[in-house]
Chains A and B, each alone.
Chain A
Amino acid sequence: MKLATMFQAGLPYLVLTGGLLVVMIGVAIKRTHAVAAVLTIATLIATTLSHIVAYSALGDGAVQIDSMFKIDGIAYLFNILFLLAALVVAFLGSEFLNRRIRFKEEFYLLLLCATLGSLVLPAAVHFASLILGLEIVGISLYAMIAYPEKARPPLEAGLKYLVLSGVGSTALLFGMAMIYAGSGSMEFANSLPSDGSMEGQYFYLIGNAFFWSGIAFKLSLVPFHIWTPDVYHGAPSIVTGFLATVSKGAVFAVVFRYAIEGNVLDSGNVQFALSVIACISMVIGNLLALLQTNLKRLLAYSSIAHMGYLLIALLVVESNSALGYETVILYLVGYFLMTLAAFGVVSVLSMNQEQELETIDSIGGLLWRQPIAGAVLIVSAISLAGIPLTIGFFAKYYLFYAGIDGGMWTLIGALVVGSAIGIYYYLRIVFTAIKRPLDDAEAMTGLPWTGLGILVVLGLCILALGIYPTNLIDLIQNVVQASGF
C-alpha cells in the first residue's frame, strides 16, 4: 500500500487531531468561549467534509494501515454519523455551558477527544486499536460526565461510570489476552485458534466469554446494565445524549468488525450466549422502563432495550453480513436522531433551571407551554416506539427483516414483546406532553434559539427519513456493497 494512499485515507483522523491540537493551544493561550466553540464546530465540519476527499483513496474497497486499521466505506459511514452527532452535542453543549458552567473551554477538548476515539473504533481490526479507541472515548467521557463539578449528581455518576466502565475494560482486556493465548494473533482476521488443539479451543472460548462480558458492560446489556440508569440520570443531559449515542454506536461498529473478520459467530456457544443476552435485554430493559417516573432513567432503560434489539443485526452477520451491516447502520441513524432529540429536549428545557428537569410530570402540557420542544419530544417518543411515518419504524422493520432472514424466531418473539411493552411507556410521554397544562404551570420562555433550532432539525430528520427513507437506504446499500460485502 502506497504511503500517499494511506495518508489520504487517514485524512479525517489527521484533520480531527489537528483541530483538537489547535483548540487545545487556543484555550491555553486565551480562554474565550466563543472562539473555542467556533473552532470546535469548524473542526467537526472540516472532518466531516474531509471524508469526501478521503473516499476516493479507497478505490477497490479498503485501505489497510499496518495491521491495526482497515479503512473502508463502512467505517466512513460510521464516522460521519458520529461526527454529526458530535456536532449536535457541540451546538447544544455551547448553550448549556454558557448558562450553567464557569469553566467552559475544556468541554470542547473532551468532546473532540471522545469523537476522535469513536472514529478510531469503526476502522479498528486489531485488539490494540480496539482498546485504544475504546479508552479514548471512555476516559474523555468520565470527565465530561462529571463536568459540572460543583453539583453532586454528576460527580457521583462520573465516579460510578469510571469504576464500572473500568471493570468492563479489564474484562475485555482479559478476554483479549486469552484469545491471543489461544490463537497467537491479535488481529481480528486471525483470531480463531489455528492449530486445532484442545487447549487453544478452551482459551478461545473462555476468552470470548470475558470479551463479550466486557462488551456487554460497554453496551449496557442485561445483566451488565446496573450502572446505566444512575449514569444517565446524573450526567448533564447533553453528555448523556453523547454517551447514549456515539459511545454505544462506536462499540457496535467495532464489534461488527470483530464478528465479521474474526468469524466469532461460527462458534455456537458465542451465538447462543449473545442470543440469550439479546432476549433478556429487550424484555427486561422494557419492563424496568415501565416502572420509571424519571424521564432520564426511563430513557436509560429504553436504551438498554434498543441495544438488545441491535444484537439481532449482529447475530445476522453470520449468515448475511451485508444485511447485518445495512440493518445496524440504518438502525443507528434512527437511534441517534431520536435519542439526541429526546436528550436535547431535556437539556434545552433544563437550561434556565438550577436542577435538571427530571420527572415525567414536569413535562406535563409541554406541547402548550413550549410548542417547539414539545413537538420534537413527541416525535422522538413516537419514533422510539417504532410507529410508522418515523425513522424508528423503518429501523425496526429492517430488524424484523434481518431476524426473519436469519431464521431467529425466538429473538423476533422477544422483539415483538419488547416493542409492545415499549409502546406503553413511550405513549405515556406523548400523552403527558399533550394533556392540557395545569393553570399554575407557567410557559417556558427564554430558551436559546440555537438549541430549539437544532431540535427542530432533528425532529424534521426523524419525520423526513421516516416518510422517504429510500435515498438513505440506497446510500447505505451502495457503500456496503462497495466495501466488498
Chain B
Amino acid sequence: MTTALSIPLEHVFFLAIILFLIGAFGVLIRRNIIFMLLSLEIMMNACGLAFVAAGARWAEPDGQIMFMFILALAAAEVAVALGLVVQFARRFETLDIDRAEELNG
C-alpha cells in the first residue's frame, strides 16, 4: 500500500463525516430554503474531501477527478435550485419551506 499522506486517513474521514453530519442536520433543522441549500453544499464538499483523501491513500488522481465532478454537479444543481427559489419567493412571498403547505395528507 502506498501512503502519500502524512495525516492519517482516519482523521480526514472523521472530519469529512463531521462535515457531512453538520450538513445533514442543517437540511433537517433549517426551514429557510437558502440555508437548506447551503447545508446541501456542505454535504457535497464533505464528499469531495472524502474523495480527495481516498485518492491520496492510493496515490491516484481519481479522487481529485471525482472532486471536479462534484463541483460541476453542485454548480448545476444550484443553478436550477436558485431559479426555483426565485419563483418560490414570488409565489409564496416567503422563503420558509414549512409555510408552503399546498401538499399534505
Contacts and interface: CB of A to CB of B under 8 A. Distances in A.
Interface of A: 127-128, 131-132, 135, 139, 142-143, 146, 149-150, 152-153, 155-160, 162-163, 166-167, 169-170, 173-174, 176-178, 180-181, 184, 186, 195, 203, 229-230, 233-234, 292-294, 297
B50 A159 contact: no
Chain A: interface secondary structure? helix
Contact of A234 (B43, B80, B81, B103): B103
A313 B84 CA distance: 37
30 contacts: A127-B66, A135-B73, A135-B76, A139-B80, A150-B91, A152-B91, A155-B84, A156-B88, A156-B103, A160-B97, A160-B103, A163-B36, A163-B37, A166-B40, A166-B43, A167-B27, A169-B73, A170-B23, A170-B44, A173-B44, A173-B47, A174-B47, A176-B51, A176-B66, A178-B13, A178-B54, A180-B58, A181-B57, A203-B13, A230-B103
A142 B51 contact: no
A395 B4 CA distance: 52
B77 A181 contact: no
Given A156-B102, A173-B44, A128 B57 contact: no
Chain B: interface secondary structure? helix
Contact of A181 (B13, B20, B104, B105): B13
A131 B69 contact: yes
A149 B90 CA distance: 10
Most A C-beta atoms less than 10 A away, residue of B50, B58, B63: B50
Contacts of B69: 128, 131-132
B53 to A, nearest CB: 7
Interface in B59-105: 60, 62-63, 65-66, 69-70, 73, 76-77, 80-81, 83-85, 87-88, 91-92, 97, 100, 102-105
A173 B45 CA distance: 10
B87 A149 contact: yes
